[in-house]
Amino acid sequence: MAARRASRLKKELERLRRDPPHGVTCWPKDESRIDHLQAQLLGAEGTPYEGGVFSLDIRIPERYPFLPPQVQFSTPIYHPNVDTAGRICLDVLKSQPQGSWKPAHNLSTVLTSIQLLLSEPNPDDGLMSDISHEYKHNRPQFLEKARLWVKKHASGELREGVRCEEGEEEVTRKRKGPVVMIGEESSEVKKSRIVT
């Protein structure tokens, strides 16, 4: 079981390295252990999280892929579905019958789902009742607080390898760390397009 899990995780991480979802990167926290990962998500354009860099801590259980990974935000975030400890309320992070995790899901699915949750919070299934209430009944105040938290907590560096689209060049130039712009170009062009 452990060898199969390790083999699958290596394949998933290689796929995430080669062709990451837009605005996502993931890597082992310690190269000697494949069951403890870190990830970064870039806040999507048009959301209060736009331009923020959000770090995630991912732990892979022994029974993966039959059990979902345990994921939580390391970066504080003002969101109805994320509590103050960084725990995330999301169906794909829960085993059935309470959740929707299936062994066919993978790390890319999880990270993309979390990124979507940033764009589309679900206040009806919130972890933070006060933030959920504010999101439903006082959206301008929620947006203002969420943007403030991004400025205060999520203005860190992007790890090299985060895939960004052409329209996000301005956002990535403001970041301190290098961001590799990946598109349809050849590998020589990609190497020459590192934004600092």
> For residue range 34-85, what is the model confidence (pLDDT) as tens digits?
999 999 999 999 999 999 999 999 999 999 999 999 999 999 999 999 999 9
- Cβ burial 102-133 (10 Å sphere, 16+ → b, else e): eeebbbbbbbbbbbebbeebebeebbbeebbe
CA distance between the termini of the chain:
42
Hey, what amino acid is at 191? K
Cβ–Cβ under 8 Å, residues 146 and 79: yes
Residue 6 has pLDDT above 70, yes or no: yes
Mean pLDDT of the 12-34 span: 92
- pLDDT value, residue 170: 35
Residue 13 has pLDDT above 70, yes or no: yes
157-190: pLDDT as tens digits: 777 655 555 444 333 333 333 333 323 333 332 3
pTM: 0.80
Mean pLDDT of the 137-157 span: 95
Superfamily of domain 2-157: Ubiquitin Conjugating Enzyme (3.10.110.10)
Provide the edge-to-edge strand list for the sheet that holds 53-59.
24-30, 33-42, 53-59, 70-73
Element (DSSP H or E) covering residue 18 = helix 2-18
Residue 8 has pLDDT above 90, yes or no: yes
- pLDDT value, residue 159: 73
- pLDDT value, residue 174: 37
Q: Which residues are designated catalytic?
A: 89
- pLDDT value, residue 163: 52
